[in-house]
Amino acid sequence: MSFDRKIKIAPSILSADFANFGQEIRAIEDQGCDWVHVDVMDGHFVPNLTFGPAMCKAIRPHIRSVMDVHLMIAPVDPYIEAFAEAGADIITAHVEAGPHIHRTLQAIRATGKKAGLAINPGTPADVLEPVMDLVDLVCVMTVNPGFGGQKFIHSQVDKVRNLRAMIGDRPIHIEIDGGITPETAPLVAAAGADVLVAGSGVFSGGSVAKPEVYGQNIAAIRKAAEAA
């Protein structure tokens, strides 16, 4: 994975057909997405349950691009190895998930994977500062994590701008997760984001039988972001 700040669209398979992940992933990649975002939820850190390392391992052979695994679980550390072995390229943990984010990021890096730091809407940007040298990606939540299809929280745009200034020339991606549409994408792109996660924004209206809708949705978000 080489580093660049071009806009990347990362559809969240949380909004895909759960009985058909292989075909859904092929469809979004054929239709031009850049990364595949995988939302892992534990019913404890967030009020929803999705899937674990075994499911990640099963879908890995279907992903040709980047497997971006967003862990919404607490504790995190006991499971890092399993998600690394499942084939994640990026493993992102929440700063709110426990008292030892520094140790968690070290543990992710120790597996040879890229390390991401996710920040909930109620958490300030400055949590990045002390762990900056351990982070490859900061994921700014623009909804409260747990569900797809929620409304974008506009107050987070200033946070993105602050993070972008804090990061400077360092090779750290700014990823935005939640409520991304062609209307909200330009706001965060202008503030300095380069990775846009979109669940409902990519999958709504389409299916593996109508993959061109995914392509239109991806292109509309990308075009709006690039024009910002």
The residues binding ligand DX5 (CB under 6 A) are 12, 14-15, 37, 39, 70, 143, 145-146, 148-150, 177-180, 197-201
8 Å CB contact between 31 and 215: yes
Report the site for Zn ion in 67-106 (rule: CB under 5 A). 70
178 in Cβ contact with 152 (< 8 Å): yes
Tokens representing 110 are: 């120790």
DSSP-assigned states of every residue in 6-34: S-EEEEBGGGS-TT-HHHHHHHHHHTT-S
Question: 39 an active-site residue?
Answer: yes
Among Zn ion, ligand DX5, none, residue 143 binds (CB under 5-8 Å by kind): ligand DX5
Which strand (E) or helix (H) includes residue 215? Answer: helix 211-226
In this structure, what token pair is assigned to residue 7?
Answer: 């806009």
Both tokens of 94, joined, read: 């929440």
Min separation Cβ 5 and ligand DX5, Å: 21
The smaller minimum CB distance to ligand DX5, of residues 17 and 165, is found at 17
User: Which CB, 2 or 92, lies closer to ligand DX5?
Assistant: 92
Q: Closest separation between CB of residue 59 and ligand DX5, Å?
A: 15
Nearer to ligand DX5, 107 or 221 (CB): 221
CA–CA dist 98, 176 (Å, integer): 21
Order of all β-strands in the sheet with 35-41: 8-11, 195-198, 173-177, 137-141, 114-119, 90-94, 66-72, 35-41
Q: Which position among 34, 39, 42, 194 bears the catalytic label?
A: 39
Q: From the CB of 49, what's the least distance to ligand DX5, in Å? A: 12
Nearest residue to ligand DX5, scored by beta-carbon proximity: 199
39 touching Zn ion, by CB under 5 A: yes
Residue of 42, 89, 177, 194 with catalytic role? 177
Identify whether 177 is a catalytic site residue.
Answer: yes
Nearer to ligand DX5, 86 or 197 (CB): 197
Instruction: Give the catalytic positions in this structure.
Output: 39, 177
